[in-house]
């Protein structure tokens, strides 16, 4: 295990800036997640750290050592790609043993090798497949074997590129928990890349959000969830996506969708008379008669669509001509056509700067401070 320091990393492919000046550091034993959409530059960043692409600018330090000019093999990192690299003629057990037999890891005795393989294959749920050949495995099993090949090998840093992407939702959730415990057990430094926000929130000690080759925000899962730096980060976290609505400011009050409220004193609204509000679908409460505590943005609308999603229901509610997506408990299901009252506690109303269509804008704050009991 080791620390990792990335400074000013840049990589262009022709005119495309795949990585455009990225800086971050990962602590010893930390599980650090890079979250970003397709094409954001996640894989290129990992490859730059591993030494698999030649970067244009920037430095990578592992355990305090500058890696410039050092071959991938000598960086002592282990990288797992989304596509699985397995020896087709070797069994799962042989595939897993081979990284432990290479010269660099020769210090492991046969019994230590067996123990490592047993621990990793149990964690990944492939211990019953040891005698199979790769062609006799499902895609998900092959992906877990490829991940196993990376995890059995002792390395300073594990670089994992969407290693769970071929698994079904249930298995992904189970593997997330297992991976987290494996990381904690072996205290390894891990850099994990994903486009799945749930994976990022579940696994990351910290999350870095990447957009078009640049880091937009780095923080703990709670920080990026509660105080997203801008509308891009707010949208990247949460499914269904956060609702972003336009609002007007006048005489210290914010008006939107036929309603208005007075925001908390520490919100700086000196920037103009328009803002955007971010309302997370899971934080909009459907008023079923009970009155929640504290001040809230209160809205009235009509349910246009009600779609059941397991234990929850996703509602599309027309509020003053704007569709809001709301997630509610399914047993309280309002019907399509029903008039509903909606309530968002002010500390959960995110206020962003105004902007044009498709423009991402910075967060100015919450409409009220978080209640002391919820603040961490």
Ligand X SMILES: Nc1ncnc2c1ncn2[C@@H]1O[C@H](COP(=O)(O)OP(=O)(O)OP(=O)(O)O)[C@@H](O)[C@H]1O
Residues that bind ligand X (CB under 6 A): 13, 16, 18, 36, 38-44, 195
Query: Can you tell me the distance from the alpha carbon of 183 to that of 168, in angstroms, rounded to the nearest whole number?
Result: 22
Rounded Cα distance, 147 and 348, in Å: 38
H helices present in the chain, as ranges: 42-50, 92-101, 110-124, 139-152, 169-186, 197-203, 221-226, 231-236
Query: In this complex, which beta carbon is closest to ligand X, that of residue 95 or of residue 194?
Result: 194
Whole-angstrom CA distances from 245 to 228, 286, 356 are 16, 18, 12
CB of 33 to ligand X, least distance (A): 13
For 256, counting Cβ atoms within 10 Å of its Cβ (0-12 exposed, 13-18 middle, 19+ buried), the class is: buried
User: What is the token pair recorded at 289?
Assistant: 């008669």
- Name the pairing type of β-strands 296-309 and 339-345: antiparallel
Partners of 61 in the beta sheet? Answer: 5, 66
Closer by beta carbon to ligand X, 16 or else 102: 16
**C-beta of 43: minimal distance to ligand X in Å?**
3
Give whichever of 13 and 87 is closer to ligand X, judged by the CB atom.
13
Closest to ligand X by CB, 18 or 50: 18
User: CB of residue 145 vs ligand X: minimum separation in angstroms?
Assistant: 21
- To ligand X, the closest distance from the beta carbon of 66 in angstroms equals 23
| Closer residue to ligand X (CB): 42 or 350 | 42
Instruction: Judge contact between 319 and 333, C-beta under 8 A.
Output: no
Output the six-digit token pair for 333.
């299901």
Question: In whole angstroms, what is the distance from residue 305 CA to residue 330 CA?
Answer: 13
Closest approach, Cβ 185 to ligand X, in A, equals: 28
Judged by beta carbon, residue 20 or residue 338, the one nearer ligand X is 20
Shortest Å, Cβ 360 to ligand X? 17
């Amino acid at each position: 295990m080791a620390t990792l320091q990335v400074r000013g990393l840049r990589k262009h492919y022709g005119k495309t800036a795949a990585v455009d000046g990225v800086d971050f550091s990962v602590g010893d034993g930390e599980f650090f997640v890079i979250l970003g959409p397709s094409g954001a530059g996640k894989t290129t960043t990992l490859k730059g750290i591993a030494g698999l692409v030649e970067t244009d600018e920037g430095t990578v330090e592992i355990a305090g050592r500058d890696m410039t000019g050092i071959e991938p093999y000598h960086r002592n990192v282990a990288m797992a790609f989304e596509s699985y690299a397995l020896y087709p003629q070797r069994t799962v057990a042989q595939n897993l043993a081979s990284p432990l037999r290479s010269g660099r890891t020769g210090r492991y005795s046969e019994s230590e090798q067996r123990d490592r393989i047993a621990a990793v294959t149990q964690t990944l749920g492939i211990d019953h497949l040891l005698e199979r050949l790769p062609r006799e495995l499902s895609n998900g099993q092959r992906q877990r074997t490829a991940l196993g090949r990376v995890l059995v090998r002792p390395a300073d840093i594990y670089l994992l590129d969407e290693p769970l992407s071929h698994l079904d939702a249930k298995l992904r959730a189970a593997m997330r928990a297992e991976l987290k415990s494996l990381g904690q057990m072996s205290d390894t430094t891990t850099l994990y890349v994903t486009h799945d926000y749930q994976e990022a929130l579940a696994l990351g000690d910290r999350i870095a959000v990447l957009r078009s080759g640049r880091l937009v925000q780095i923080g703990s899962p709670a920080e990026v969830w509660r105080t997203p730096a801008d509308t891009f980060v707010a949208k990247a976290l949460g499914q269904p996506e956060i609702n972003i609505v336009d609002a007007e400011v006048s005489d210290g009050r914010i008006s939107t969708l036929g309603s208005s409220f007075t925001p908390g004193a520490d919100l700086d609204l000196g920037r103009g008379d328009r803002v955007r509000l971010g309302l997370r679908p899971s934080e909009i409460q459907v008023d079923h008669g009970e009155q929640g505590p504290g001040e809230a943005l209160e809205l009235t609308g009509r349910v246009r669509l009600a779609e059941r999603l397991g234990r929850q229901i996703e509602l599309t509610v027309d509020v003053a001509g704007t569709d809001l997506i709301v997630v509610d408990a399914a047993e309280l299901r309002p019907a399509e056509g029903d008039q509903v009252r909606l309530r968002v506690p002010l500390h959960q109303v995110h206020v962003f700067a105004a902007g044009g269509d498709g423009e991402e804008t910075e967060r100015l704050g919450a409409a009220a401070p978080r209640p002391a009991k919820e603040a961490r």
